[in-house]
């Protein structure tokens, strides 16, 4: 217990530890129980809301993010997804409370740690899901309600049992990303390109398989044994899935970008050139996967500065190319 004799850690590790639910000194013991408001906030997993930014993908690809109505509808869709996603996180944590308490990190989740009472967590989940669905029901485009409802059903099915079925759980995780991406079209009435669907589908499978591969590598044999689906995979199988998905995604994106360049003949070939930062971003993320660091994609998105810069350059080039600059 030599940790107790060290000087107090500085503020930044403590802040990082609050997000992770661990002590700022790198130990796995929380310094003090979180107050209820903070416990609720942590249980909603706001760091994972970054994944809901995918709802802006279709308007961005269509060059419509400069239109006020599109921005408003897409922002509402983003908020609705945040509410429903947090509801499913609460349900997932409530169902897995026993196994989470045996996990070295998940035992510090608010429900598992006893900081958020189970009845309150379930009540919040119902309220958030109802709020999100109600917002979607008021949308100008009924397709968004269908998209969000399918996301809710798929995610709850995953949390309530299908997470233990290999391949099925992988597809459901990928479907969550695809539904977020397509929601930007169904919430705004923008037609969704077949190229977009192909890139989104295999990009989502790439991220899902990469996430599982990272967990497989980082958890070790003992950790894998506690997760039925993960224990039935092999590292070679998961590597095959994320490698194949990456290859199809990159091929489809290149064809899509070149198709945009042909249709916008006479403008700067920014859509074609966007292939370069896109490939660099995929290779950077693949490096994180290979090192076993991609178990939480949102942490990479928020923490990898090189990946962030590459993504910004890619988004700017593709967006400008889509509008024919």
pLDDT at 13: 38
In contact, 55 and 181? CB cutoff 8 Å? yes
In contact, 43 and 117? CB cutoff 8 Å? no
Position 165 in a domain: yes
Position 21 in a domain: no
Residue identified by tokens 């998105």 is 301
pLDDT at 137: 93
Position 218 in a domain: yes
Q: 235 and 261 share a domain?
A: yes
Domain count, the chain: 2
Position 67 in a domain: yes
Q: 115 and 201 share a domain?
A: no
Q: 116 and 78 share a domain?
A: yes
Q: 164 and 198 share a domain?
A: no
Q: 96 and 226 share a domain?
A: no
Position 79 in a domain: yes
pLDDT at 127: 97
Position 171 in a domain: yes
Q: 143 and 185 share a domain?
A: yes
Position 244 in a domain: yes
Q: 145 and 232 share a domain?
A: no
Position 153 in a domain: yes
The span from the CA of 107 to the CA of 116, in Å, is 13
Domain-terminating residue out of 171, 192, 213:
192
- At 49-80, the pLDDT tens digits run 988 999 998 998 887 888 899 999 999 999 99
Sign of CA dihedral 285, 56, 61, 267: negative
Domain-terminating residue out of 192, 221, 240:
192
CATH of the domain at 132: 1.10.357.140
Sign of CA dihedral 113, 117, 118, 120: negative
SS (H, E, C) the chain: CHHHHCCCCCHHHHHHHHHHCCCCCCCCCCCCCCCHHHHHHHHCCHHHHHHHHHHHHHHHHCCCCCCHHHHHHHHHHHHHHHHHHHHHHHHHHHHCHHHHHCCCCHHHCCCCCCCCCHHHHHHHHHHHHHHHHHHHHCCCCHHHHHHHHHHHHHHHHHHCCHHHCCCHHHHHHHHHHHHHHHHHHHCCCCCCCHHHHHHHHHHHHHHHHHHHHHHHHHHHHHHHHCCHHHHCCCHHHHHHHHHHHHHHHHHHHHHHHHHHHHHCCCCCCHHHHCHHHHHHHHHHHHHHHHCCCCCCHHHHHHHCHHHHHHHHHHHHHHHHHHCCC
Q: 148 and 282 share a domain?
A: no
pLDDT at 31: 54
Range of the domain at 232: 194-325
Q: 256 and 128 share a domain?
A: no
Residue stretches of the chain with pLDDT short of 50: 1-30
Q: 161 and 308 share a domain?
A: no
Q: 166 and 251 share a domain?
A: no
Domain-terminating residue out of 150, 172, 192:
192
In contact, 261 and 269? CB cutoff 8 Å? yes
Q: 204 and 244 share a domain?
A: yes
């Amino acid at each position: 217990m030599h940790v107790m004799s060290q000087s107090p850690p500085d503020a930044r590790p403590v802040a990082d530890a609050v997000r992770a639910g661990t002590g700022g000194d790198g130990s796995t013991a929380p310094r003090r129980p979180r107050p209820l408001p903070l416990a609720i906030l942590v249980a909603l997993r706001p760091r994972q809301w970054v994944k809901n930014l995918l709802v802006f993908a279709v308007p961005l690809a269509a060059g419509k993010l400069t239109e006020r109505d599109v921005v408003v509808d897409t922002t509402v869709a983003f908020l609705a997804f945040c509410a429903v996603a947090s509801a499913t996180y609460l349900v997932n944590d409530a169902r897995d409370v026993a196994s989470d308490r045996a996990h070295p990190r998940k035992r510090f989740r608010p429900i598992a740690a006893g900081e958020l009472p189970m009845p309150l967590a379930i009540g919040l989940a119902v309220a958030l899901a109802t709020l999100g669905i109600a917002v979607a029901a008021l949308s100008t485009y009924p397709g968004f309600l269908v998209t969000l409802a399918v996301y809710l059903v798929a995610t709850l099915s995953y949390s309530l049992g299908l997470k233990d079925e290999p391949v099925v759980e992988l597809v459901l995780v990928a479907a969550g990303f695809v539904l977020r991406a397509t929601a930007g079209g169904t919430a705004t009435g923008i037609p969704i390109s077949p190229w977009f669907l192909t890139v989104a589908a295999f990009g989502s499978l790439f991220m899902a398989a990469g996430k599982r591969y990272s967990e497989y590598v980082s958890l070790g044999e003992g950790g894998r044994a506690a997760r039925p689906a993960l224990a039935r995979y092999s590292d070679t199988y998961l590597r095959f899935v994320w490698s194949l998905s990456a290859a199809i995604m990159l091929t489809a994106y290149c064809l899509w970008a070149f198709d945009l360049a042909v249709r916008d003949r006479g403008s700067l070939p920014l859509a074609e050139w966007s292939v370069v930062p896109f490939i660099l971003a995929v290779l950077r993320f693949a490096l994180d996967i290979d090192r076993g660091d991609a178990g939480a994609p949102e942490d990479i998105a928020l923490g990898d500065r090189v990946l962030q810069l590459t993504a910004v350059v890619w988004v700017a080039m593709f967006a400008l190319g889509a509008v024919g600059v």
